Structure 1
């Protein structure tokens, strides 16, 4: 095997010339845990990458980037600063009807619908507006009882006190029945009654048609006042501590993206949705202009109310992997250091930093993921320092033997050697590596040799020196 003068030249040139950067070692170009004290190529013919003394990886994962590469990567920085954080709590919700403004029109007696005055769902109505009229035999009977009782009370009042008392009791019972039916006692023997709207609003439901028979308690009309509406927003479990009753809020809807509706938190529901880990929050809004319609999708922002200044960085500066939260702090001269931080509240554009950096520290806000990837590689390589720095000196042993077979291509040799007491090895034939092809140059199989080899660990034994031995001395040492 021919000698490798380049390697020896590199080894001899340990002292760099003035102005040159000192090379510590060479690392695998594919990021594998493999280093070399000398220049070499990997199995694919790629040159190993030099690691310089001023760019050596360490546990901190600090990265040095040239100005040209900074411009190519588009690296941008910003300074941490103390300011009021825009930490509005954002949630999604839906517009709902104000349940307190829903009215059902339900007769309390049996009858038939004679005429409808409002006959379509969605129609607007006003308070006191006629909705429908009904005929009821029960109503006719009750009114007749009132009429008869009034006549008996007046006719028999002067002559017979007992009859007068009976008439008064009959009159009171008849009027009580009409009062429970929410029907006026007057009207004589009128056989029908008209029902009016109890409030301003719109007709949500209409179950009535002319001529239909209805039962007591049947909701014939449902009317809702939409001058105020609710928004039910879903707030995540971790944000519940930031919500309180009376808290101001703003609402936006897709139909009017330029409009902002003011709202207020009126109720925080006591239940949690186990599937979505959210709790409903109710907000109340004024809707006298009628723009908000039940069922609309809405975006809600709850004002956090925190005017306290906080140390913040731009949101893009934080690298959050789920297991760690870091920012890349600028160390000067194109150097960047990953700095673990503890974050607080998150705002629209900034994030509160509780621990890790100080006011005025400069952090990377663009291309930080690329630098972080390089930093992780640097930190990983820090475990693999130059071989001569981390490996203890190889132990050296001497033995007597002869070459059994030589494989110049693999740079290995099979040796028949005598017992080696230092290693408690008996006489045997085994394979050794060759430190270089020059070690076995000019030696023939079968001739007595004295050789020196190193134990380089992991079962690797490499012969570093081989010399011809005196046959008589070798025979005497064998005995």
Structure 2
């Protein structure tokens, strides 16, 4: 019974093996064979996430992804010369991990090489010549240009705040007589403005006269008594000086030996009376403003400059000013100050321009315009047309034409803009051809986002984009090195 059982088992096993060999496909024998139409026939199909799992026929994995066909030339040890050099090795399962040297993952699968040609092709955007013609694509060569810009702004003439003087009294009194009695009147330095009466001033004069008389009486006394009397006399005189009594009035007081009932108050500067709250007969208190006088020999033109133009201006620049009241005259000045604050409503900053006004033509409140010419002199900067830059909000992109129908998006760093051109600090080389029109349409018609994703990885290597790192033959920074 044992013999018969063993024999039957061997017979069944042999029969099963024979049936299996007869039914099994022979992909290796079909390798490299083409059908009558010249189409390649796959050897087999492999799992898209695990190359060790294969199928003789098309299939789908558990996630619904199609198995990948494997052809005879994929199995042959083809030379990667035509693909360029190997930039790095990527994880076989699609993880973000990369390596600069060959290695295996945790499942023992080899990392896959990434060639220079593969990365370069992923960064490109391809459009047919017919579509390029329909879109109206135009290009222009990036080149070196001298950057110059003329900024025009409007403003108004204002009083130089450093030349404004307020006339006050340091004692209580009354206006006995008013010599300058209209606003806008021109005054000269030392000109009497008003006559004042003050009991405090009369008392101070009398104290000085008494102290000086005591100094004279004690001239024959001891040295200590003479020194004390002299100090009292000097203190009384100094008090009058602190009250801004003019030297001529003090000299009169010393020579005549009698106190003055009234004293004139003099103008401290040449200028124009801006304010005159004082009237004849009024009482004034210490520190109360009697006149406000401004020297208009130099004035300010305060203009509003937009924030995008602030980089073009600096203190000390000479400017040309035109005043609406004098259209045939030009006034030259210089920028003296750029205000540190910005108006949030208009996105402008105020700039102060100093103008000489010896003829008195520039009156506060007059409107004027300024032309500020700025540039780098003889320096040339790499520029492209400002229409070549696409601004996504987070980065600026320029489409570089590689050849007919092939474009490469470049993330660029832009500088100053002027006269239809923008300075390129990084991303484009001198002499490269960039798209200047229909670049938005190329964005809509092509997989520009995918090309940009290939150009830049989620992480950067140092301060470089991963696109720059790939062009230098370096993997993105998320690599872990060889193990």
TM interval, shorter chain, is 0.5 to 0.7
Show the counterpart of 1:83. 145
- Aligned: 1:226 with 2:293: no
Which of 175, 178, 187 is the matching residue for 2:237? 175
2: CA distance, partners of 1:63 / 1:289: 70
Show the counterpart of 1:309. 380
- Aligned: 1:123 with 2:194: no
SS in 1 for 2:148: coil
**1:238-317 equivalences in 2 (<5 Å):** 246-250=315-319, 252=321, 255=324, 261-267=331-337, 272=341, 275=344, 282-294=352-364, 296=367, 301=372, 303=374, 305=376, 307-317=378-388
- Aligned: 1:347 with 2:418: yes
1:178 positional shift: 0.8
SS in 2 for 1:303: strand
Show the counterpart of 1:205. 275
SS in 2 for 1:86: strand
Cα 1:62–1:251 change in 2 (3 A) is: farther
CA RMSD of aligned residues (A): 4.5
1:293 positional shift: 4.5
Alignment deviations for residues 218-241 of structure 1 (CA, whole Å, 9 cap, x no partner): 221111222223455677888877
1: CA distance, partners of 2:402 / 2:361: 55
Which of 153, 173, 179 is the matching residue for 1:111? 173
Show the counterpart of 2:259. 189
1:136 positional shift: 1.3
Cα 1:381–1:267 change in 2 (3 A) is: closer
SS in 2 for 1:119: coil
Alignment deviations for residues 226-260 of structure 1 (CA, whole Å, 9 cap, x no partner): 2223455677888877766x541426466367766
2: CA distance, partners of 1:78 / 1:226: 53
Alignment deviations for residues 196-227 of structure 1 (CA, whole Å, 9 cap, x no partner): 22112222222211111111122211112222
Which of 445, 449, 463 is the matching residue for 1:378? 445
Q: Which runs of 5+ in 2 are unaligned?
A: 1-122, 451-483
2: CA distance, partners of 1:62 / 1:88: 40
Q: Which runs of 5+ in 1 are unaligned?
A: 1-57, 384-479
2: CA distance, partners of 1:208 / 1:343: 60
2: CA distance, partners of 1:67 / 1:278: 41
1: CA distance, partners of 2:147 / 2:264: 60
Show the counterpart of 2:207. 145
Show the counterpart of 1:132. 194
2: CA distance, partners of 1:109 / 1:168: 25
1: CA distance, partners of 2:371 / 2:298: 17
Cα 1:123–1:305 change in 2 (3 A) is: farther
1: CA distance, partners of 2:402 / 2:228: 104
2: CA distance, partners of 1:76 / 1:125: 68
Cα 1:382–1:354 change in 2 (3 A) is: closer
2: CA distance, partners of 1:126 / 1:240: 40
Counterpart contact for 1:86–1:350, Cα < 8 Å: no
1: CA distance, partners of 2:284 / 2:203: 18
2: CA distance, partners of 1:382 / 1:267: 45
Counterpart contact for 1:145–1:170, Cα < 8 Å: no
Show the counterpart of 1:60. 125
Counterpart contact for 2:154–2:369, Cα < 8 Å: yes
2: CA distance, partners of 1:253 / 1:65: 54
Cα 1:215–1:382 change in 2 (3 A) is: closer
1:327 positional shift: 4.7
1: CA distance, partners of 2:150 / 2:139: 25
Cα 1:353–1:168 change in 2 (3 A) is: closer
Counterpart contact for 1:113–1:135, Cα < 8 Å: yes
Cα 1:213–1:96 change in 2 (3 A) is: same
1: CA distance, partners of 2:212 / 2:415: 79
Show the counterpart of 1:100. 162
1:312 positional shift: 1.7
Show the counterpart of 1:320. 391
Counterpart contact for 1:319–1:327, Cα < 8 Å: yes
2: CA distance, partners of 1:308 / 1:278: 28
Q: How many residue pairs align between the two structures?
A: 317
Counterpart contact for 1:82–1:311, Cα < 8 Å: yes
Cα 1:247–1:149 change in 2 (3 A) is: closer
1: CA distance, partners of 2:398 / 2:140: 11
Which of 216, 221, 227 is the matching residue for 2:286? 216
Cα 1:299–1:330 change in 2 (3 A) is: farther
Counterpart contact for 1:205–1:222, Cα < 8 Å: yes
Counterpart contact for 1:109–1:216, Cα < 8 Å: yes
